[in-house]
Amino acid sequence: MIILDNLEQFKVVYRDGRKWNRCVEAIENIGNLRDGVMYSIGDSLVYMIEDGVAKNTENFVGNRRYFDIHYYLEGRETVEVADKSNLESVQAYSDETDREHLNGNGQIHQLCEGQVAVFDNSKAYKFHGDNRVRKVVLKVTIEDGYFLNK
């Protein structure tokens, strides 16, 4: 997981590439969004505003075709992240949902208002559901390039 302090830092680090620009476009469109409704830009990005306390999940969730970007608008939450290779599979990967469920232990992070978290597909995550949070959740295809810093 990559944690950036603010959206401006995201714009600097991920300035090249159409899908990164679409992420910024989506985030800058939040004034026109309804909570809980999924929107899309092209075929490489879907996004929505989530508001509330994240469900405290027992297992880690991992993705393969899409990765998540969370931009925190209000509040804070605890997320636990681990390398998939260090976790045990409890539900095999489903191509239909782009999810796999894993069990084990990871590193705990506190994410808060203003930050941007980029969840790499080599990792899995779970939320502890400890606080109310309002955030933009973006699901971005891994195609057409990957992380600039790897």
pLDDT digits (tens, 9 = 90+) for 16-38: 878 888 999 999 999 999 999 99
- What would the mean pLDDT of 105-127 be, rounded to a whole number? 96
Question: Which structure tokens are listed for 147?
Answer: 């992380």
d(CA 22, CA 143) in angstroms, rounded, equals 14
Alpha helices in the chain (DSSP H): 7-13, 18-28
The parent domain of residue 53 ranges over 2-141
Q: What is the total count of domains within the chain?
A: 1
Express as a percent the part of the chain with pLDDT over 90.
78
Question: For residue 128, is it within any domain?
Answer: yes
22 in any annotated domain: yes
Q: What is the pLDDT of residue 54?
A: 84
Helix (H/G/I), strand (E/B), else coil: 85: helix
Give me the CATH number covering residue 10.
Answer: 2.60.120.370
| Residue 8 CA: distances (Å) to CA of 1, 28, 116 | 18, 12, 10
pLDDT reading at 146 higher than 60: no
Least confident of 3-12, 14-23, 57-66, 99-108: 14-23
- Residue 134 belongs to some domain of the structure: yes
